[in-house]
């Protein structure tokens, strides 16, 4: 089997580095063609990113376990920091979606358990107008609060009936965001016996269970990209007989996430509605950081780069490497669009929930961001032809 080795160097942030300054990739098997090397690199990046997400989810679980043992304000703040840290590697994986890969395969994908959004808070816990709503406050209907039970209940009677994943944990840590200028402010005493709200023990159990389920679900995705495991998704994805389909899928994920999901559902919808409720990280007000990491993830797929959680740089063969040889003008065009988007992002200084308010100085910058992200996605349009996968690309689900 072909073997690819990725160089590890001093970690540098993707948002601030220039592609020409990245370490050169080292490839042991010189018999692989460049296109196959791109696919191999992509698979390695997938495994590395999802593995990093598992590691950070475990850190989050450790913080939650410590907090529920002895709830305190400082313990709750530690959990919030751990949640924010856990978001970083997962945000970089987002372009791995939309082609039926391990994260969102029709029957086995775990995306709806990991990062589905938006959610109906009242399905999980109390809300401002109903102090006894949700799974936590209904021991008769929901006697068992375990990872397995929550998995079964997730989206049981509708898409917004969510009780698993990053955003369920976010809600449990921050609570509803009722502050017009800041994030949610759930009191730590919601988790203290005899404290605020009711069913504090069930709330602790919920938080522990949902954090364990996040680890399990992320691990199941990482396993599908693990080279050491036989007959998994990676094995078929990197099979040379599937080369054109795999390249087309890489482009599908890149384009559909960039345009339809990121610039559309996650940014434009909230901007157009001027609605904090449509914000992706609406409880924590962490959305702008997510946006920057989504952009970093898009660039990482194109340039074959990823800064790991240990600070080291993974660098492999990339779409950019191919285009530099076959169509330099296309690479220049795409790179210029990445730079333009980065420039707009650098000017936005307020949180997303504030930036989407018409009176905020960053309001028009969000409009510019949406425009630049769409132009960035449009710049990918020549890649299927240049990579000679146009037929495969058009045969896949490319409506976005």
Is residue 32 very low, low, confident or very high in pLDDT (cuts 50, 70, 90)?
A: confident
More confident residue, 14 or 53: 53
CA 129 to chain centre: 31
Q: What average pLDDT does the chain have? A: 92
Q: How many CB atoms lie within 10 A of CB 310?
A: 9
SS3 42: helix
242's tokens: 């599937």
Assess contact for 362 and 354: CB atoms under 8 A.
yes
- Asked if residues 255 and 362 have their Cβ atoms less than 8 Å apart, the reply is no
- Provide the pLDDT confidence category of residue 12 given band limits of 50, 70 and 90: very low
Domains of the chain (ranges plus CATH)? 7-394 (1.20.1420.20)
Tens of pLDDT, residues 373-390: 999 999 999 999 999 999
Size of the chain, expressed as the number of residues it contains: 400
Listed residue (265, 235, 212, 231) closest to 97, CA to CA: 265
CA distance 204 to 71: 9
Backbone angles phi, psi at 306, to 5 degrees: -160, 125
Residue 158, pLDDT above cutoff 90: yes
Contact 355, 370 (CB under 8 A): no
- Provide mean pLDDT across the span 93-120: 96
**262-304: pLDDT as tens digits:** 999 999 999 999 888 899 999 999 999 999 999 999 999 999 9
Q: What is the mean pLDDT of residues 18-24?
A: 43
What angle (nearest 5°) sits at the alpha carbon of residue 274, between those of residues 270 and 278? 35
Distance between CA 13 and CA 18 in Å, rounded?
Answer: 10
- 142-152 tens-digit pLDDT: 999 999 999 99
Can you give the pLDDT at residue 10? 27
Average pLDDT in the 189-209 region? Answer: 98
pLDDT confidence of residue 393: 85
């Amino acid at each position: 089997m072909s073997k690819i080795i990725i160089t590890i160097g001093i970690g540098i942030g993707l948002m601030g580095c220039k592609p020409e300054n990245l370490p050169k990739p080292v490839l042991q098997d010189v018999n692989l063609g460049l296109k196959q090397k791109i696919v191999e690199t992509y698979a390695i990046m997938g495994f590395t990113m999802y593995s990093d997400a598992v590691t950070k989810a475990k850190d989050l679980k450790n913080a939650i376990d410590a907090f529920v043992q002895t709830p305190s304000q400082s313990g709750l703040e530690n959990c919030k920091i751990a949640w924010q840290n856990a978001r970083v590697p997962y945000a970089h994986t987002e372009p791995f979606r939309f082609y039926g890969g391990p994260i969102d395969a029709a029957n086995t994908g775990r995306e709806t358990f990991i990062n589905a959004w938006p959610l109906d808070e009242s399905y999980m816990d109390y809300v401002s107008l109903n102090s006894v709503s949700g799974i936590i406050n209904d021991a008769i209907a929901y006697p068992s609060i375990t990872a397995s039970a929550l998995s079964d209940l997730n989206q049981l009677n509708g898409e917004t009936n969510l009780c698993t994943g990053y955003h369920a944990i976010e809600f449990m840590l921050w609570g509803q965001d009722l502050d017009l200028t800041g994030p949610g402010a759930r009191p730590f005493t919601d988790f203290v016996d005899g404290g605020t709200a009711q069913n504090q023990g069930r709330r602790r159990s919920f938080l522990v269970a949902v954090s364990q389920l996040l680890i399990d679900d992320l691990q199941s995705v990482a396993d599908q990209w693990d080279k050491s495991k036989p007959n998994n998704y990676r094995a078929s994805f990197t099979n040379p007989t599937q080369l054109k389909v795999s390249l087309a899928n890489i482009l599908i994920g890149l384009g559909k996430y960039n345009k339809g999901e990121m610039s559309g559902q996650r940014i434009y919808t909230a901007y157009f509605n001027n609605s904090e409720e449509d914000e992706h990280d609406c409880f924590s007000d962490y959305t702008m950081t997510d946006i920057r990491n989504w952009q970093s993830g898009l660039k990482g797929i194109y340039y074959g780069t990823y800064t790991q959680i240990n600070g080291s740089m993974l660098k492999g063969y990339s779409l950019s490497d191919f285009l530099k040889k076959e169509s330099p003008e296309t690479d220049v065009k795409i790179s210029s669009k990445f730079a333009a988007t980065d420039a707009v992002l650098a000017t936005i200084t307020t949180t997303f929930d504030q930036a989407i308010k018409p009176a905020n100085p960053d309001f028009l910058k969000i409009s510019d961001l949406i425009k630049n992200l769409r132009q960035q996605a449009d710049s990918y349009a020549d890649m299927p032809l240049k990579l000679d996968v146009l037929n495969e690309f058009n045969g896949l689900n490319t409506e976005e």
